[in-house]
Amino acid sequence: MNIDILTILPDILDGPFSQSILKRAIEKKIVTLKIHNIRNYSTNKHRTVDDYAFGGEAGMVLAIEPIDRLISKLKAENQYDEIIYLTPDGERFNQQIANQLSVKENIMLLCGHYKGVDQRVRDHLITKEISIGDYVLTGGELAAAILVDAIVRLIPGVLSDETSALTDSFQDNLLAPPSYTRPADYKGWKVPDILLSGNHDEIDVWRMKQSVERTEKLRPDLFSKNIKKKQTE
């Protein structure tokens, strides 16, 4: 997979991609990640990329010209499956979207800043808009890092145990069951006997029951989705 990230603050992304699973995925060449500084495509001698909003709205807006110049350059070199703008008013990101994006070949992520980008960027250059939640960040860089992390870990070869991602929370709209490790008895706090039984069929039944119960208790909205889904099947 090839991922291109467009930002005016590239240094923010140094940390997330130089550690742990993402670092290993890049080193193993499973993922090619390139960060592009939008300021390099400004025609202004001061490398200005923002301007005041028409109509007197408070705050600055990222201008269309440098973004269009950069996107046009990248599109001339590659064919993109999605050009995604990270924005609070986009489609809410979830595991299903992560699953869908993980099988793409080429993805471009545009990080907003200030009051966002000129609407014409969204109207003419973007194919998908994604939000990581109902709140506002200073810029889209951290949102882009979250998106990349959630997508890349699903690509075959990234995780040492590829089946691990299949049992994560939100796969099939269920929360993951509780996990335990050694010691089996710590301060009298014991691991459930079923997990020590060696009966994998019964353990699978227990885990599914736990997932359903945890989802109903902690995320009734997800639980309702599962009920509606079963009713339509």
In angstroms, the CA 166 to CA 172 distance is 9
Q: Which domains does the chain have, with CATH numbers?
A: 2-152 (3.40.1280.10), 169-232 (1.10.1270.20)
Confidence of residue 173 (pLDDT cuts 50, 70, 90): confident
* Coil, strand or helix at 231: helix
- pLDDT reported for residue 131: 97
Which stretches within 20-140 are classed as H helix?
20-27, 64-77, 95-101, 119-124
Name 155's Cβ contacts closer than 8 Å, sequence gap at least 6: 1, 25, 30, 31, 102
* Coil, strand or helix at 36: strand
Q: Does residue 145 contact residue 139 with C-beta atoms inside 8 Å? A: no
More confident residue, 109 or 221: 109
Reported pTM? 0.87
More confident residue, 39 or 232: 39
Question: Within 10 Å of residue 176's Cβ, how many Cβ atoms?
Answer: 15
- pLDDT reported for residue 160: 75
Q: Is the pLDDT of residue 233 over 70?
A: no
Confidence of residue 169 (pLDDT cuts 50, 70, 90): low
Q: Is the pLDDT of residue 130 over 70?
A: yes
User: What sign results for the dihedral spanned by CA atoms 189, 193, 196, 200?
Assistant: negative
Confidence of residue 41 (pLDDT cuts 50, 70, 90): very high
